[in-house]
Amino acid sequence: MIAFGLVWPLAAGADQKDPDLDKLFAVLQTSDDPSALSNAHGEIWQRWTNNDDQDYFALMQHGVELMERRRLDEALKVFDDLVDIAPNYAEAWNKRATVHFLLGNLADSIADVDVTLKLEPRHFGALSGLGQIELQRGQPEAALDAFEAALQVHPHLPGTRGIIERLRRDLGRNSL
């Protein structure tokens, strides 16, 4: 695959395989300490985003920078290239799902979330993103399922309990 004029190898070190992630997820499940939870949350995102291959990581950073500058078509191209050359890099799929969502390409966003979750089933960001997609599609039941799945993985995920409570109320279900 060619990206930025360079020929890229096909193998990628997928950092969702980092063995320390299990310990960080255990903190999310067992701790009530806000500082420990915040640190674990941030460290998980950092490990998902980082990649042992510095070229892949540089592409990730470039794509994120383009997203932040709202240059979404360019960001999509970067993430298209990244998932092509590093198909096991879960966060590349998740970032591309985010760009598709921001562009209104909801079906493409869902497809990328599905790949993200196949590679990293604990990806609370992808699960929460799926909830947002389903809300956008007018599917509150599916949104509730996605947000509840995210909360199973990360019981302290900011803002998620409130969204779940609202959806449960709107759907006439019992609260948490």
CA–CA gap between residue 176 and residue 173 (Å, rounded): 9
Chain segment 95-117, per-residue pLDDT in tens: 999 999 999 999 999 999 999 99
What percentage of the chain reaches a pLDDT higher than 90? 83
Q: What is the pLDDT of residue 15?
A: 59
* pLDDT confidence tier of residue 175, bands split at 50, 70 and 90: low
- Identify whether the C-beta of residue 85 lies closer than 8 Å to the C-beta of residue 12: yes
Mean of the per-residue pLDDT values of the chain: 89
CA–CA gap between residue 109 and residue 60 (Å, rounded): 17
Q: What is the pLDDT of residue 19?
A: 78
CA–CA gap between residue 99 and residue 8 (Å, rounded): 23
- The whole-model pTM stands at 0.86
- Report domain 123-176's class: mainly alpha
Chain segment 70-81, per-residue pLDDT in tens: 999 999 999 999
